[in-house]
Every structure is written in C-alpha cells, then in structure tokens.
Structure 1
C-alpha cells in the first residue's frame, strides 16, 4: 500500500476559550482579551466542563468533570455556557486568512485545520519554513499559542502537533513546530497509547487483551483484526500503522464559500434611525441580490451595529418566508431604535452596519407551488404592517421556555424575531426541572399569583409540616380576587419546589385541589402563605 502523503496540521489549543473571549470582547466593547485568557476559565455544557484555560488546568480543572467539582477545585473559576456556534463563527476568519496563505485547507473542527504539506514546503523552501509562515500568521491574528505538526498522513500529523519537543521520533526546530521525518511515522506512533486511535469502548477492549500501545496494535495482522473487531478495528489498525484509511486523499479541502455578508461604514456617524435606514437601503438591495445570484434566499440574518465608541449591538432576526430588501431595512431600523434605548454609553451614532445571513435555503424551495400559499403571505403582510406601525414589540407570539412556575415558562417573542437568552442563561424548555408541573397545564395561568386561603374543617389555615405534608385535610378554598369560596372534594399530595436556596429563596410546595363544583386549582405554599397559580376549567 502506498505511503501516506506529508500532511501539515494547524492547531489552536483551547480554541473554545479563545472564541468565547473574543465574542465577549466584541459584545462588551473591550480590547484586552489576553489578560482574561490568563485567568481560570471553563466552558460548561450539560453541567460538565468541555473546555478550560491553561490557568484552570493548573488549578486542577479537567475536561469532562462536573461543574461543581471544577468549582471546588478552583474557587476563583469563571464559568460560561459553551456555544458551538460561537466556536465556528469565530474560527471562520482564521480559516479565511489561512486560505489566503495556503490554499486547500480542511477544517477538522473549530481550532484544528489540516492541509497538504508538499505545496507549502516547495513554496517556502522547506517544511520548517512553511510552519514558520503559519506561526507568523497566527501572531498577526493575535493567536500566539498555535502549534504546527507535520508527518506522513493525517493521523500522524494530528499526534505530532500534540507531542512535546523531546518526544521520541519528533524534531522541534521551533517551539511551536513538531516534524516527524518522512518514513518514520509508524515508529513515532508506536509508543502512543492505543486510545489515540480507537474509540473508548474499543480501546478498553484492546487494553483488556494486553494491547496497550499503537505499536502492539500495528504488529497484528490486519485480517485478524478485521475478523475480530470489524471495521472500527481495521480503521484503528491502519491509523496505528501510519497507513491512509482510504485510497483517496486524506485531506479534503473545503470549497471556500462566497462571502455573503455585506457591510457599510459611515463617516461621520449616523445618529438617527431614519437616516440609518435610508442610508442602508442600497446595502439591503445588494445583500438580497448577492443571495439571488447564488440561487439562495435568506430566512435568518444577523445585524451588527457598531457605534463610534466601539460598542457593538448584535441581534438575529427570523423571517417566516424570506427576507426582502424592505424587510432587511425594517430590521435595521428596529434594531437601531432599541440600541439607542439600551445603550448606557455616550456616542455620536452608528459608524458601521454589517448584515450576515445565518440561515439560507435554496430559492427553488420557496417558490409558489401548484396550490397557492397566499393566505400565509397575507398573514405575514398584515402582521408586518401592524408591527411597522406599533413598533418592534407591538406584535408577537408566545414561546415556551424553561422554568418551574408556570408564569416563568411564558415568554413573549416579537414577530419575526429570534429570541436570544441573556449570556449565562441555561433555561431550556427541554431541560430537567425538578418540581415542575408534569401533568396537563391549567387552562388559565395568572400573570401574578392570586392570594388564597386553604382551610381545614375547623376554619384554620393549613400549612406544610417538617415532613413536607399538609398539617390537616383541606376542607375549603378561598380565592377572594376570583370570588371563589367552595368546599374541597379532592386534593393531591404536596410536592416541593426548592431552587436557589443559596440566595435565600424560600421553598415552595405545590398542591392541586378539586372543588365540589368540578373546578380545579393549582396552588403553591410559600412563606406561610397560599397562592393560586392557575385554574383548570
């Protein structure tokens, strides 16, 4: 089988941390990202650490551990939710800069790229010189900790980029460059643990059989590995042997996408929404025309407004059908109006507008079919006209969100808007919410809970005892603001809703009661008082 071609890997360690800090810096209008990068940071997904900074690792934080364990190991740890979309969006300019220097780049994941080494080595004179050129590019992009790995084959290059300067079989002509000489990739891979080439289950099985290194795995006959472990075993065996996984090229460069974003700068700044909307009408037409030339329509856009003091106002907008120039200008107008109200910093106005498509679709999929879809178009037309007269928040819909109390789960979303939760929020309607109502929701939910009285047979108010049970059987329910004073026929056991106890939030206890007329109520007990949360009609 032919030898694997020389491959170069460009790696930015801790890229999710870089992306998070850059995104926060742009949003907050700050410039000093490197200072924050030296502090202990961690990104969390599903209550586990998915990325952490070098300072956090020095304090004992590791990827995969639970959030509370990470905070116990490093009390000064700063925690942010992980957003894969930020990783991809922030890495796109890095990839574009790489493609300007070295054509044919494959993005393995945000922060890791691969490319054929032959062309850059011939252009710059050597593999070391090609690596040095990429390091210089990283410095220009304010990425001072990038690593370059060069070896025979993609897998060997990915392992080389993670190797130390004194690892066996590795040459380190530069602090950030690791080169495995041609023809020696198998020897370089031999002492590495077998988990580098196999998934967790297969690696555990191999270690149980005494195959602990890639050299031990490569020494086995491929036919025997295929018979015993199937296709996953063969793939791991070929990686361990330094053999390409397929007959084609291992590095599959992406086709650079046409830049669909458009932007416009102003000098002097524009300080009124109407002036900004008028100035951006040509930009919106250019944006839609660029999409049309690509055979695309846009159903979601991100608008970025930057003022003269460096503060950026960013929002994503949705459209139920597809954006037109007029729709785009309208979104710019609404966003500019809200940015003026939300900003706490002074300034003369907006200096830059950037429009980026965040979701596109084939134009053919949005053409009218055999049967007209005109009613939907009329609905959108009239709602948009009403919104243009009443303002951005004048027309909207309700969205289900996460929470334990029913009123917390209702969120108003303006028409054709993508609701973005505040930074750090992890509320999700699909997430686990211990204590939340599991059964059918009441048909009426009160915006503010109504004061209520739940009485026993002697007329005394019921409470919750130390065992989380009612102090007596309910006999009567009174809800004065709803003119309810009826006998209780049936009731459920109370269930506790405990949250944010560290902030002093008192525990709540929910209870469902059915009255003699067939009416039912959802109550909760808090701070020795009963409140009516909803009503079942």
Structure 2
C-alpha cells in the first residue's frame, strides 16, 4: 500500500462551543443566560448562543453588535485565560482515554481505535465521555468521530459519528468556508475559491491535485488534502531524534506562573533552535513536568502550522497556568522541579531569515535595545509579568481609548483601524498624562453658576473658574466643546459626553499655568471631570 493510500487515523474530537465566551464569563462570574461576546481589534471573535439569537455574528464590529444587542456583555480576548480554564476539561477527557492532544483551548483530539474497543464501541465511548465531562467540569460539549482531525472537528460541530472510510462523502456537501478554522487562517484562500465558483468542499476536492498546487501553492495543497478527507500531512512523518528533546531542572521548584513564563521563553528558543539546525519544525509539542514530590504532568499540543519560538513559549505558559490554577484535587501539590519539551511530530522546517547584521537599518536588535530588554525582563522577574508594559496604538475617539498596554514580551500587534480617521476624535495635541480614573471637577461661570451643556452640545456659559481637588483656578483660555455620542442605540437614550480644552491660571504668580482636558458627561456624578493634563 502506498503512503497516499494509507487512510488517516480514526479520531475523536471533543469541542466546547463558544469556549472563549464560556471561559471569560466563568472568570468574571457572569451568568450564562446573559448575551456575551469576546472582541479583538473591535470585532467579534466569539459570541454566546444568546447573543447569536439576537443577531450577533463572528467578525461583526463592536458597534453593530451592541446595536443589535444593547445588553451584550463585552469581554476582551485572552488566550491565557482560555487555556487555563480549559485544562480541567482536557484532564477529564484524559481520565477515560489516553493520548489526549489539545488542538486549541476548547478543542481536544484523541485517537480512539483502542479506546472504542475497550468501552464497547464508539457510540458507547461518546456517551460515557459526554456524561463524564459534563459531570466533572460542568461544561457543555459536543463530540464527533471521523477519519482524520479535520473531518472529526467538523463532525464535532454537528455531533456526528462518521462511518469509517466515508470522510470524503461527509465533507463533500459542506461549505468551502469550513477550511477557515480558528487555528489556521485561510480566509484569503476561501474568498478566492468562492470567487472562482467553488462553493463546497466537494467541488474543491474534485480538482486535480497538480492543478491545485500550480494555482494555489502549498496552502492550497494542504486545504485540498483536507477537502478530500485525507490527513493534514502525509502519514510518513519524520521520527524525532531523542536528542531533540530539551530538559530543564529548577532549584527551587517553579510554583509561580510569571517565573515559568520567563523560563519558557528561554527553553522554547533552545528547543526551536535544535529543530531548526536539522531543518525541522514541530507540529505536535509534548510538555512534560515533574513536581518536587514526584507527580508526573503531561500534555500534548497539536498545531496546524509549524510552531515558532513564540508559539512554543505561549503553549508552555498556557499549560503552566492550567496546571497551577486548576481546582482542588487536580492541582499539583508541589512546585515543578523538571520540565521537558519533546517534539512528538516534526515536518520540514520553515526558517526565518534574519538580518545579516544585528542593529542594521530597519531592525530593533541594537545593543541598546538588547540591554533595555534584559533590564525589563529582570524587572519582570522581580515584580511579576504585569509590572512592565509597552503602549500600542488603538483606534478610538477618547485619549484613554487610543492606547492599549501590552505586557513586555507579548506580541505588540496593531489593532485594525488604529490609524483610521475616527469621527469625533479629539484634535491635537495629545495629552501628556491620562488619568486612570477621571478627577472630579467643578466648572462655573463668572456669576458662580455651574456651566452645563445644551441639547445642541453648546456650553450654557463661558467657563470662568475650575475647581479640582479643592483648588480653584481661573480659566485663562479654552477651546471646544467637542461632543462624542456613544451607545446611541440604548433604549434610555444615548450616552453623550463633551470635551473642553482649558488653560488654568496658577493660584499664585510662582505657580505655572495648567492645561487640562475637561469632560462633561450627562450620566456621570459629578458631571465635570478632568480626563488628563497637557505638557
């Protein structure tokens, strides 16, 4: 039998629907009956069934989602939270079946040829697994069984057990959009296939493989294999050499997630370099740990694409969060004394071509930058991972909305629309200091009456004096107002705020003037606050 004729392994996939929302709601203590969604770059990445019933969809902008469902609870994307809370689910599956692989938080896969025979068939195994996970962890899950991971994942979305050898028939009528999975972005390929008139997986699978490679390259070839019900890669993969494993011992043992995260970065770099030196890359990562009391911890992470050093470090960090923050009875009783990374599966590597000279034009690898990076990592090691941040520009209208703080070492990705011409955005110059919580203030006119805002967003009088923290200062000059209308879809009316720039005189000749940004908001008490100060 040729390699191409070898069928993909029989796989069981357990899928927890809307897991990012489930994890976020559980972490924040939000009841499951409330509509909720997780947003990234101002777009919906996951939403609950209640939110979907109200018209919210994945990829929808935040404003449109809130217009369709004003009561929706908004959460930010947090892969660490998703992975940490998913560990009890993976552990519950592992109590019945060995060889569990975490595809991504919310999805686990496991070969079931041996387990199905032990438990009396696939149907009986699925019933036992659903009852066990629901009883032990208390989360909703769906299970699918098919030949190969891709078909089994789509079967889990439909709670279907596909008969052996019929994977291609099962996939044939499904939409071509199924190729675009969260762990492997193929949106550009899917869009192109649609424009070419290929609407289903069966229509794409019917194309000759040679033509697919010539037109779409390696990405198209992999997608074509999936559409045909084959495995993600040919079954004859390289057998990882034993010396490619990387082991690290810790004295004292690791019992803090932030310290483990820093160790993971160094270990991931060594692990990736060892593979790259042999022209390999890892697609299934085994993470094995031993505690000070001899407890053995293990988990295998499967990835659609070869892992980068950053991706390896992320998975090690996620796994440590899952182990160290899980519930009583599952948490290890001592710190981790040994950590081992093993390449469970490798493919041809994809190396990154770096610059010839570090510190050259257009790079950030200058000696000064390296020294600063080491200093910041040292501060994080002393004070924790959340002690050092860098700023990333975001899209928004208010000064506090335009900056997102990213922990040092995490990926600094610019949000979509960060440089767009936002309507109602405050004109320059930018604030030097934005207060985390606006400071209450009182703004009065020359007669001592409080200055308000009309329905047409005009000030009722000229600002004469501003009192902040009990200190009254006269207004030398001012500009505005600049109105911002938010939540215009709310049943009780829009939430409008008005911003005014003002220069305040010093209380005495020796005291310099102070330039501030004042904000008036109808639903706030007090009405006027100081949002920030200028240099």
**What range is the shorter-chain TM-score in?**
0.5 to 0.7
1:152 to 147, 151, 164: 147
Contact 1:297–1:360 (CA under 8 A) maintained in structure 2 = no
Corresponding residue number in structure 1 for 2:500? 510
Query: SS of 2:110's equivalent?
Result: strand
Which of 19, 31, 38 is 1:15 aligned to? 19
**Pairing of 1:206-355 with structure 2 (within 5 A):** 206-248=193-235, 289-291=252-254
Kindly state the Cα deviation for residue 226 of structure 1 after the two structures are TM-superposed.
0.9
Q: Distance in 2 between matches of 1:156 and 1:298?
A: 34
CA distance in 2, matches of 1:532, 1:80: 27
Decide which of 179, 182, 203 is 2:190's aligned counterpart: 203
Please give the secondary structure, in 1, of the residue aligned with 2:131: helix
| Count of paired positions | 382
Kindly state the Cα deviation for residue 234 of structure 1 after the two structures are TM-superposed.
0.9
C-alpha displacement of 1:208: 2.2
Measured after TM superposition, the shift of residue 494 of structure 1 is: 4.6
Answer 1 or 2: higher relative contact order, Cα 8 Å, separation at least 6: 2
In the alignment, what sits opposite 1:32?
A: none
Structure whose alpha-carbon radius of gyration is higher = 1
Q: Tell me the CA shift for residue 9 of structure 1.
A: 1.1
Corresponding residue for residue 4 of structure 1 = 8
Structure 2 unpaired stretches of 5+: 181-185, 240-249, 264-327, 340-370, 404-417
- Which residue of structure 2 aligns with residue 259 of structure 1? none
Secondary structure of 1:101 counterpart: coil
Q: 1:359 to 1:194 in 2, by over 3 A?
A: farther
- Check the 8 A contact 1:298/1:357 in 2, yes or no: no
Cα-to-partner distance string for 1:10-49 (whole Å, 9 max, x where unaligned): 1222333443454355xx9xxxxxxx54x35222314544
The residue correspondences of 1:354-433 to structure 2 (distance < 5 A) are: none
Q: How much has 1:533 moved relative to structure 2?
A: 7.3
Inter-partner Cα distance in structure 1 for 2:46 and 2:388: 36
In structure 2, what is the Cα distance between the partners aligned to 1:136 and 1:49?
A: 31
Alpha-carbon distance change, 123 to 203 in structure 1, aligned in 2, over 3 angstroms: same
**Structure 1 stretch 12-21 or stretch 477-486: which is displaced more?**
477-486
Residue in structure 2 matched with residue 193 of structure 1 by the alignment: 175
Q: 1:499 to 1:209 in 2, by over 3 A?
A: closer
Q: Say whether residues 1:179 and 2:142 are aligned partners.
A: no
Correspondence 1:522 to 2:495: no
Given that 2:8 and 2:147 are in contact with CA atoms closer than 8 Å, whether structure 1 keeps it comes out as: yes
After TM superposition, give the deviation of residue 225 of structure 1 in Å: 0.7
Conserved? CA contact 1:523–1:530, under 8 Å: no
Partners of 1:66 and 1:155 in 2: CA distance: 29
Aligned pair 1:136/2:118, yes or no? Answer: no
For residue 520 of structure 1, report the CA deviation from its aligned partner.
Answer: 5.7
Contact kept, 8 Å, 2:252 with 2:337, in 1: the verdict is: no
Using the TM superposition, give the Cα deviation of residue 532 of structure 1 relative to its aligned residue in structure 2, in angstroms. Answer: 7.8
Q: 1:119 to 1:223 in 2, by over 3 A?
A: same
SS of 2:102's partner is strand
After TM superposition, give the deviation of residue 536 of structure 1 in Å: 6.0
Q: Secondary structure at the match of 2:515?
A: strand
Q: CA RMSD in A?
A: 5.9
Tell me the TM-score normalised to structure 1 length. Answer: 0.53
Counterpart of 2:156 in structure 1 is 161
The alpha carbon displacement at 1:291 in A equals 2.0
Pair 1:114–1:397, CA change in 2 (3 A):
closer
Q: Secondary structure at the match of 2:146?
A: strand
- CA distance in structure 2 between the aligned counterparts of 1:156 and 1:57, rounded to whole angstroms: 25
Is residue 105 from structure 1 mapped to residue 105 from structure 2 by the alignment? no
2:116 aligned residue: 121
Alignment check: 8 A CA contact 1:400 1:409 kept: no
Shift of 1:193: 1.8
